Amino acid sequence: MDHIQFNQVVKKRGDFELNIPSITIQQGDMLGVIGNNGAGKTTMMQMVLGLLTLDSGELRRFHDGEEFHDVGKWKQDVGFVYDDLLMYDDMKLSRLGKFLSEQYHSWDDDHYRSMLQSYKVDENKKIKSLSRGMKMKAGFAMAMAHRPRLLMLDEPTAGLDQKSRRQMLRLLKEANEHGVTVIFSSHILGDMEELAGSVWLMDEGEVKAHGEVDDLKSRLGKDEEGNVIAKEDGSEDLVSLEDLHDFYLGGEDV
């Protein structure tokens, strides 16, 4: 079932131009978006959320097969986690929950408080007093408290310590296992390898490759020197997501 459809989308921001061909994101997918800084990952997410208008093309949004033309209504069933918690620094998490309950018709405050408790985040602390890891966990609780059907995350594990990173990966897996469509960007290919069922590989505003991870891997092989090449010319050696990155994005560090 379709969740988001891109049809030849173009967005210009100064000298930068993002081009997304006709791609459909399926409901229940776990999509990883890979790309260096400036690839267009965040711009894509902002367009999906309706924060940016398109210059041309079409972007269609669905929940359970129903198309939504009212982005505000559609966002009632969407959760989003930024790479930092962009909220009022002097507000306590308990007060922030009350504020957000006025924004989402299906906000579940008990669920919100329960998640904070399970993540060991004190709801009586102000946002400015939280570590980066605590902010990400609090942001996840906020994004999930209204039980969204789509969850979008921009670099959710960047800058986290190993323990917090592992917990965040587990939370994403659990959300997806409960039927939530997850779209997340990351520079950490190990996280992508563990989570993503499908990926986009983006560079300089272009989607260089997209599809299920296993399908993309099946198209590639390695030559006698171990370089990643097209399958028809290479060996049957298994390739990794890092190999995919190097093949499609030129091997630049991420």
Q: Kindly compute the dihedral angle of the four CA atoms of residues 179, 185, 187, 189, in this order, to the nearest 10 degrees.
A: 30
- pLDDT one-digit tens code per residue, 74-92: 999 999 987 666 667 788 9
* Residue of 199, 192, 196, 194 whose CA lies nearest to 216: 199
Q: Please provide the CATH number assigned to the domain covering 2-249.
A: 3.40.50.300
Tell me the pLDDT of the chain averaged across its residues.
89
CB 86 within 8 A of CB 128: no
Q: Which residues share a beta bridge with 32? A: 184, 199
Residue of 89 and 68 predicted with greater confidence: 68
pLDDT at 68 over 50: yes
- The confidence score (pLDDT) of residue 234 equals 44
pLDDT range class, residue 168, cuts 50, 70, 90: confident
- The confidence score (pLDDT) of residue 47 equals 96
Give every CB contact of residue 253 below 8 A, 6+ residues apart in sequence: none
Q: What are the extents of the domains in the chain?
A: 2-249
Q: Kindly compute the dihedral angle of the four CA atoms of residues 19, 179, 1, 188, in this order, to the nearest 10 degrees.
A: 20
> What percent of the chain is predicted at pLDDT more than 70?
94
pTM: 0.91
pLDDT at 207 over 90: yes
Residue of 82 and 118 predicted with greater confidence: 118
- The confidence score (pLDDT) of residue 253 equals 46
